[in-house]
Amino acid sequence: MSTPAQNPNVRLGPLAAIGLVASREIGTRLRSKAYLVSTVVMLVLIIGSTVVLKLLSGSGADATVGVTGPAAALSAPLQASGKAIGESIDTTTVADEAAGRAKVSDGSIDALLIGDGKSLQVVVKKDLDAQLKNAFNVLAGQLELSQQITALGGDPAKVSADVAAAKVEVRPMEQPYDYNGQQLVLGIIAGVLIYISLMLNGQMVAQGVVEEKTSRVVELLLSTIRPWQLMAGKVLGIGTMGLIQMILIGGVGIVAGLATGVLTISLSAALGTVVWLIVWYLLGFFMYSIVFAALGALVSRQEDVGGAVTPALMFVIAGYIVGVSVLPTDPGNSFVEVLSLIPMFSPTLMPMRLAMGGVPVWEAALSVLLVVALIPGLIWFAGRVYNNAVMRTGAKVKLRDALKAA
C-alpha cells in the first residue's frame, strides 16, 4: 500500500475544496424556491415599473394643442410660455374650427385655440389640464401686456426682450453638476437593488453557517477541509448566485427602460450604471458576507441569526436610508458625500451617487480602494471568529471570547 500522500485518489487542493463547497451552495440555491421566487419578483417589479413610468409619461410632448385661423400666430408664443413653466406643448394647425372640434372630441388633441390672436379662447372636451391652463394664462398675460405697451406707444418686442434679458447673474465658485432626473431615479433603483441584494444574500451566508452548525455537519466538514476553505466556498457560491441575480435584474431593467423609451440617457451611461452596480454589489457583498459568516458562527440556532447579524446590518440599513432620503432631493449633499467614502457605507451610497452622476473620479476610486483595503482585515477577523466559534454549540459565543481564544 502506498503512503497516503502519494495516493492520487485523495488529493484535494484548497481551490478544489472551495470549488466543491461553492458548487454545493449554487446547487442548493438553484433548487431553492426562495431564490427563484425573489428573482422573478424583482424582475416583474423592474419591468412593471418601467411600463408604469411609460404609461404615466405618455409619448413625446405633455400636451398637444390645435390652432386655427388668426390664432395660428400664437403657436410659437404658446410653446415658449409652456416651456417657461416646464410643460412641453406641441402645436398643430387645423383647417378650421369644426375640424379642430372633431379632433378635440376624439382626443387626438388636448385643446383647440381659437380667436382673433388678440384674446385667447380655448375649446376643450371637459376641462383644461391644470398645467396647460397655466401655460395659457401666462400667454394671455403676455398678450395683454403687449397690447398695453403698444397703446402706450412702446415696442412690445423690445420690452419683452429687455424683460427676458433682465435676470440675476449667478457666479458659481465651483461648476455645479447638472443632475438628470432620470439618473436620479436610476440612482434610487441602484440603491434599492444593492440594499435588497445585501440583505438577502448576506443573511443567506449567515443562515448557511448556522445551518451547518445546528445540524452539526460542520464537524464532519471540518475534519476534511479547513474552516477558511469552507467559509470562502460558501461566500463564493452564494455571491455568484447573487451576482447572476443582479446582472439579470440590472440588465433587464436597462433594456426594458431603453426599449420602451422611458430611459433617454445614453447607452454608455446606462451601461456605466449597471457596471458600477455590479462592482459595488461584489465589494459590498464580500465585505459584509464574511462579517455575516463570522457573526453567524457565534450562534447555534436559526432564530438567533437575526440578532447576531444586526450590528453589521445596521450599517447597511443606515447607509440605505440616508441615501434614499437625502440624495433624491439633494444629490450633491456633502454629508452623504463624506459618508459614501467610509467603507461601511460605500456599498449602499456610492452606487446611488454614481448612478446619479457627478461623482469626481478620485472619490469613486478612493472608495473602491478603501473597501478593497479593508477586506483582508475583515477576512482575518472573520476567520478568527469563525474558527473559534463554529464548533462551540449551545449558548451564543461572545464576540470577545471568540476573538480571544487561540
Partner 1 sequence: MADQLLEIDAVSKSYGATVALRDMTFNVRAGELFGFVGSNGAGKTTTMRIALGVLSSDSGQVRWNGEPITVETRRHIGYMPEERGLYPRMKVAEQLTYLARLHGMSKADAKRAVGVWTERLGVAARRDDEVQKLSLGNQQRVQLAAALVHNPRILVLDEPFSGLDPVAVDVMSQVLREKADDGVPVVFSSHQLDLVERLCDRVGIVRNGQMVTSGTVDELRAGGAVRLIVHAPQAPDGWADQLPGVTQRGRHGEKTELELAPGADDQAVLRAALDTGPVHEFAHRLPSLTELFRHVVTEETAA
User: Which residues are at the interface with partner 1 (CB under 8 A)?
Assistant: 1, 3-5, 9-12, 17, 20, 24, 28, 211-212, 215-226, 391, 393
- Amino acid making up residue 96: D
Closest contact distance (angstroms) between CB of 1 and partner 1 is: 6
Distance CA 206, CA 229 (A): 16
Closest contact distance (angstroms) between CB of 5 and partner 1 is: 6
Q: Which is nearer to partner 1, 299 or 359 (CB)?
A: 299
Instruction: Name residues whose C-beta falls within 8 Å of residue 101's C-beta, 6 or more positions apart in sequence.
Output: 112, 123
Distance CA 264, CA 181 (A): 11
Q: What angle do CA 104, 108, 109 make, to 5 degrees?
A: 55
Q: Which is nearer to partner 1, 13 or 60 (CB)?
A: 13
Q: Under a CB-based contact definition with an 8 Å cutoff, are residues 97 and 110 in contact?
A: no
Q: Under a CB-based contact definition with an 8 Å cutoff, are residues 342 and 316 in contact?
A: no
Distance CA 235, CA 285 (A): 9
- Between the alpha carbon of residue 149 and those of residues 73, 136, 145, 156, 157, the distances in Å are 19, 20, 6, 6, 10
Closest contact distance (angstroms) between CB of 17 and partner 1 is: 7
Q: Which is nearer to partner 1, 1 or 170 (CB)?
A: 1
Judged on CB neighbours under 10 Å (0-12, 13-18, 19+), 291 is buried
Closest contact distance (angstroms) between CB of 29 and partner 1 is: 12
Distance CA 225, CA 386 (A): 14
Closest contact distance (angstroms) between CB of 13 and partner 1 is: 9
Closest contact distance (angstroms) between CB of 59 and partner 1 is: 51
Q: Which is nearer to partner 1, 170 or 406 (CB)?
A: 406
Q: Under a CB-based contact definition with an 8 Å cutoff, are residues 60 and 272 in contact?
A: no
Q: Which is nearer to partner 1, 8 or 172 (CB)?
A: 8
Q: Which is nearer to partner 1, 299 or 316 (CB)?
A: 299
Mapping DSSP to helix (H, G, I), strand (E, B) and coil, where does residue 54 land?
A: helix
Closest contact distance (angstroms) between CB of 238 and partner 1 is: 15
Q: Which is nearer to partner 1, 116 or 219 (CB)?
A: 219
Grid coordinates standing for 354? 454614481
Closest contact distance (angstroms) between CB of 219 and partner 1 is: 4
Q: Which is nearer to partner 1, 142 or 300 (CB)?
A: 300
Q: Beta strands 111-114 and 121-123: pairing type?
A: antiparallel
Eight-state DSSP code of residue 87: -
Q: Which residue has the cell 484535494?
A: 12
